[in-house]
Structure 1
Amino acid sequence: MTTKLTKSRALSTVLTTVIILVASVVLGSGVVLYGASLFQGGTQTEAISVSGVKVWVHATDANGLAWGAAGVRNTGDKVVSVDKIQIRGTDIPFGQWYPDVTVTPTLFQQALNHTGWSGVAGGLTNNVACNPVTILELSGGSATDDICADVATGPVSLTPGQSAIIYFKLTNGTLSPLDSGANTGVNIFAGKTGAPQSVTIQGKS
């Protein structure tokens, strides 16, 4: 009995080579795009700088009336949200923050002022008439140096390069008049970004 041989069809050498080349190009492009996205994401950083931190305590108030202030600048490449101000292990609620995110570079570099004690805004004297009227109005000596701050309702968002001055009222009892002249730590963070600041408490009468 004779066996009948049949030819099996296969892809030609040229077609096989073309398919391999196309597949290599597609895979290579995917690897390049993936690597570029990883590199771009890796080079973007979250960073803030905190400067000019002040803490004031009423020199005679038995309830421990105290305020603080700080300048915060987004020095990274991503939008960040300042979400924690903490003194002596006590978080200061957002309802006691008064941020001004429209400050000029000149104002940001100046020393933050204590304007005196009163019942306005829970302890600081308002000296200017901001437009529109806001909860905390502090005069820096000229119209361009005024702090016009609304009470915060949540974290303070800062775009890359943006600066803010944040005044904050400490919960009564966090400090006392006896703390005047002592050093304390002020923690200001935007997520995991930030660092404790060492500050000398100033007594103000």
Structure 2
Amino acid sequence: MPGQLKKRKAIATVLTTMIILIASVVLGSGVVMYGTSLFQTGAQSQSISTQGVKLWVNATDSKGTSWGAASVRNTGDKLEGIDKINVRSLAVPYSNWYYANTTNSLANIQDQFIYGSNDGAGILKNYSTSGTYDTCTGNTASPAFRIDVDGAGVGHPTMCFISANGPISLKPGESVIIYFHLPTGVLDTIDSGQSTSVALYAGKLGAPVTVTIANP
């Protein structure tokens, strides 16, 4: 009996040691995985870049019809939503935003954006320097208006603008071109040639830039 008792104690000691070793390995793996997860999360960055910002006010239009344009690219690692456009610290409503989706805007973000012409009620009309356009497809098949800086089949594709009804989501690396119709009173005919501030935001990302107001 004493011999059997010693054997049982020895086996119990071995089992206890094995359980402790296995638990240590499992806990260690969990710590490594948790640490890796924290590192990956911390390494993600949030940033957007804005370029080509324009403002126009028709100096001969009694309504003071005014528009703006800008391109925005998500240069970070997370999904971002462009959710605010401010001109002179006043917000432009979503219903006044028109955007070219990311499938045809990446090639155009370096373009010199142009005003073209409006329909007499303040809304921009289709415009092309050559009078011809590339075909709009996908969700832009029926655009609010089209702008082409060099004509169909030449250089950059036609920008096909659709109406926005909320923030514009951009995955990492995606871009968008936005034309926005300023509410009455934000700019006046006498503002042509003056400088003012424009800011596009994605949450807390973004900052005002100074722009000279042009006369289309």
Paired with 1:37 and 1:118, the residues of 2 have a C-alpha distance of 54
Amino acid at match of 1:70: A
What is aligned with 1:3?
none
Paired with 1:171 and 1:104, the residues of 2 have a C-alpha distance of 25
What is aligned with 2:26?
26
Paired with 2:119 and 2:210, the residues of 1 have a C-alpha distance of 27
What is aligned with 1:16?
16
TM-score, length-scaled by structure 1: 0.87
Instruction: Please state how far the C-alpha of 1:154 moved relative to its aligned partner.
Output: 1.2
- 1:138 is the counterpart of 2:150: no
Instruction: Please state how far the C-alpha of 1:106 moved relative to its aligned partner.
Output: 3.7
- 1:110 is the counterpart of 2:111: yes
Q: Following superposition of structure 1 onto structure 2, how do residues 39-54 of structure 1 map, counting pairs within 5 Å?
A: 39-54=39-54
Query: Secondary structure at the residue paired with 1:68?
Result: strand
Could you tell me whether the CA contact under 8 Å between 1:64 and 1:174 is conserved in 2?
Answer: no
Instruction: Please state how far the C-alpha of 1:104 moved relative to its aligned partner.
Output: 4.9
Moved more, 101-110 or 166-175: 101-110
Could you tell me whether the CA contact under 8 Å between 2:105 and 2:176 is conserved in 1?
Answer: no
Q: Gaps spanning 5+ residues in structure 1: where?
A: 1-6
Q: Gaps spanning 5+ residues in structure 2: where?
A: none
User: Which digits, 9 at most, give the CA deviation of each residue in 1:133-191, with x for residues without a partner?
Assistant: 31121121222432111111111111111111110000011011121122111110111
Could you tell me whether the CA contact under 8 Å between 2:196 and 2:212 is conserved in 1?
Answer: yes
What is aligned with 2:70?
70
Could you tell me whether the CA contact under 8 Å between 2:85 and 2:92 is conserved in 1?
Answer: yes
What is aligned with 1:173?
185
Aligned-residue CA RMSD (Å): 2.0
Paired with 1:103 and 1:112, the residues of 2 have a C-alpha distance of 14
Instruction: Please state how far the C-alpha of 1:50 moved relative to its aligned partner.
Output: 0.4
Could you tell me whether the CA contact under 8 Å between 2:83 and 2:202 is conserved in 1?
Answer: yes
What is aligned with 1:124?
124
Q: Percent identity?
A: 47
Amino acid at match of 2:206: G
TM-score, length-scaled by structure 2: 0.83
Amino acid at match of 2:113: L
What is aligned with 1:4?
none
Assess, with a 3 A threshold, how the Cα gap between structure 1 residues 137 and 119 changes in structure 2: closer, same or farther. Answer: farther
Amino acid at match of 1:103: N
User: Which digits, 9 at most, give the CA deviation of each residue in 1:95-148, with x for residues without a partner?
Assistant: 11110022254422111111123337x332312565433112112122243211
Query: Secondary structure at the residue paired with 1:202?
Result: coil
What is aligned with 1:61?
61
Moved more, 75-84 or 126-135: 126-135
Paired with 1:88 and 1:197, the residues of 2 have a C-alpha distance of 11
